[in-house]
């Protein structure tokens, strides 16, 4: 399939418009393009909607770590896996705000708060809403990832000032059941609907390198790109193989397959910010640079991503300097 035929549904001839009718065959064909052609197309589309020198920077803080009732096979925080991650309590509001001030000083424009819950309880949601109000008052964009939400909970978070809610689809609908058994793909779609109904921006992506095939990576991108609205942020994570999780022995994904996933996400969701998320700690600078060329335009700053290591701000600043990249303003 050629590039022209991939976009055969298009009323406009060129790839780059926002579509919600991607077929699996079209996305598969993008994955199969010669690497230079895929990269060129991703970069061309990236430039239609973004300044290619800008990278949005977020910081992620685990406000409640470990002991999660869900059984996500990749996650060291699941109570189902013996990974040595201790179950902690929800952090105090002041401690979270101190971390948010430090993140802002380090250049972050968005502060994400993650809690290892199946879903938030009423009392905990009160505390998280107070955190959201406090972080917002510092002039940062706010983001939370707290598990499943119903519409009432989403509206409360919106009223507190929540800008983004993260809830990933993780993988293709077919592969999903081998990764998580304690909640369904449809549960995830229902939470995304509740978040959208509350007019909170959606951060939703997935994880690659979990033993899935290219068909599943294509299925994941189709599921994301055919949501009623494209997520404003699309995190693409590379599995961090944590000892004690069922995926600790997963085969290592070829870096080019990771870069291809970023490029296809960029082409399928042209106006979304694509985030190069977990897995950067073990990624070469060259691979990260290819990801930026493929259309990634967001990263997490900070030495830890919830419980797994991430490059420190100094390493990131040095890489951005080498590549001539600069932080995106919060308003963008
Ligand atoms: S990914 Fe989230 S929901 Fe799944 S086990 Fe980890 S903390 Fe729980």
Q: Report DSSP letters for 8-63, one per residue.
A: TT-SSSSBTB--S---HHHHHHHHTS-HHHHHHHHHHHHHHHS-TTEEEEEEEEEE
Kindly tell me if the per-residue pLDDT of 119 is higher than 60: yes
Catalytically active residues are 68, 72, 75, 112, 143, 203, 275
Nearest CA to 264 among 285, 236, 289? 236
* pLDDT tens track for 200-214: 999 999 999 999 999
- Atom in ligand 1 nearest the alpha carbon of residue 77: 6
Q: Percent of the chain beyond pLDDT 70?
A: 91
Residue % of the chain over a pLDDT of 90: 77
Place of tokens 């549960």: 187
The tokens for 288 are 């990260």
Residue written as token pair 């929800």: 90
What is the mean pLDDT of the segment spanning 124-152? 96
pLDDT(2) > 70: no
- Ligand 1 atom with the smallest distance to the CA of 183 is 3
Helix axis angle, 24-31 relative to 35-49, nearest 10°? 110
- Pick the atom of ligand 1 nearest to 78's CA: 5
**Distance from first CA to last CA of the chain, Å, rounded?**
35
Secondary structure (3-state) at 201: strand
**Per-residue confidence (pLDDT) for residue 10, from 0 to 100:** 46
Residue reference for tokens 């179950």: 87
What pLDDT digit, counting tens, does each position of 17-40 carry? Answer: 889 999 999 999 999 999 999 999
pLDDT at 209: 96
Q: Which helix (H) or strand (E) holds 187?
A: helix 185-197
From CA 12, how far away is CA 126, in angstroms rounded?
A: 48
Residue 152 has pLDDT above 70, yes or no: yes
Are the beta carbons of 72 and 185 closer than 8 angstroms? no
Task: Give the residue, 13 or 115, on which the prediction is more confident.
Answer: 115
Residue 260 has pLDDT above 90, yes or no: yes
This prediction has a pTM of: 0.90
CA atoms of 104 and 256, how far apart (whole Å): 33
Ligand 1 midpoint to CA 115 (Å): 8
Task: Determine the average pLDDT of the residues in 107-126.
Answer: 92
- pLDDT by residue (tens digit) across 158-205? 999 999 999 999 999 999 999 999 999 999 999 999 999 999 999 999
Q: What is the pLDDT of residue 37?
A: 97
pLDDT at 133 exceeding the cut of 50: yes
pLDDT category of residue 274 using cuts at 50, 70 and 90: very high
| Residue of the CA atom closest to atom 7 of ligand 1 | 116
219: tokens are 């299925």
The pLDDT, as a whole number, for residue 317 is 81
Residue whose Cα lies nearest atom 2 of ligand 1: it is: 116
10/253 Cα distance (integer angstroms): 33
Q: Answer for the pair 217, 208: CB distance below 8 angstroms, yes or no.
A: yes
* Distance from C-alpha of 317 to C-alpha of 58, rounded to nearest angstrom: 13
What are the CA-CA distances from residue 39 to residues 35, 69, 173, 188, 265 (Å)?
6, 40, 27, 31, 12
CA 88/CA 316 separation, integer angstroms: 29
Spacing, Cα 260 to ligand 1 middle (Å): 26
Q: Left (φ > 0), alpha (ψ -120 to 50) or beta: where does 244 sit?
A: left
C-beta separation of 141 from 100 below 8 A: no
């Amino acid at each position: 399939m050629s590039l022209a035929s991939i976009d055969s549904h298009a009323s406009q001839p060129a790839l780059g418009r926002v579509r919600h009718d991607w077929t699996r065959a079209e996305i598969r064909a993008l994955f199969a393009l010669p690497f230079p052609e895929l990269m060129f197309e991703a970069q061309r589309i990236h430039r239609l909607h973004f300044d290619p020198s800008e990278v949005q920077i977020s910081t992620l803080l685990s406000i409640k770590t470990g002991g999660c009732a869900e059984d996500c096979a990749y996650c060291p925080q699941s109570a189902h896996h013996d990974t040595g991650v201790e179950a902690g309590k929800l952090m105090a509001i002041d401690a979270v705000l101190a971390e948010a001030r430090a993140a802002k000083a380090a250049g972050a424009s968005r502060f994400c708060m993650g809690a290892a819950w199946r879903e938030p309880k009423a009392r905990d949601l009160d505390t998280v809403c107070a955190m959201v109000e406090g972080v917002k008052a510092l002039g940062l964009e706010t983001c939370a990832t707290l598990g499943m939400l119903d519409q009432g909970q989403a509206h409360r978070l919106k009223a507190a000032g929540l800008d983004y809610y993260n809830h990933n689809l993780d993988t293709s609908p077919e592969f999903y059941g081998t990764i998580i058994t304690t909640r369904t793909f449809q549960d995830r779609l229902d939470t995304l609907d509740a978040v959208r109904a509350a007019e909170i921006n959606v951060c939703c992506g997935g994880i690659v390198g979990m033993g899935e095939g290219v068909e599943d990576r294509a299925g994941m991108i189709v599921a994301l790109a055919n949501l009623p609205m494209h997520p404003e942020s699309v995190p693409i994570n590379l599995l961090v193989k944590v000892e004690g999780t069922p995926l600790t022995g997963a085969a290592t994904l070829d870096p080019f397959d990771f870069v291809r996933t970023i490029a296809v996400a960029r082409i399928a969701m042209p106006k979304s910010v694509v985030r190069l998320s977990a897995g950067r700690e073990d990624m070469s600078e060259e691979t990260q640079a290819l990801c930026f060329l493929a259309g990634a335009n967001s990263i997490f700053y900070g030495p830890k991503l919830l419980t797994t290591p991430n490059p420190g701000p100094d390493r990131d600043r040095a890489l951005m300097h080498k590549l001539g990249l600069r932080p995106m303003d919060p308003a963008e």
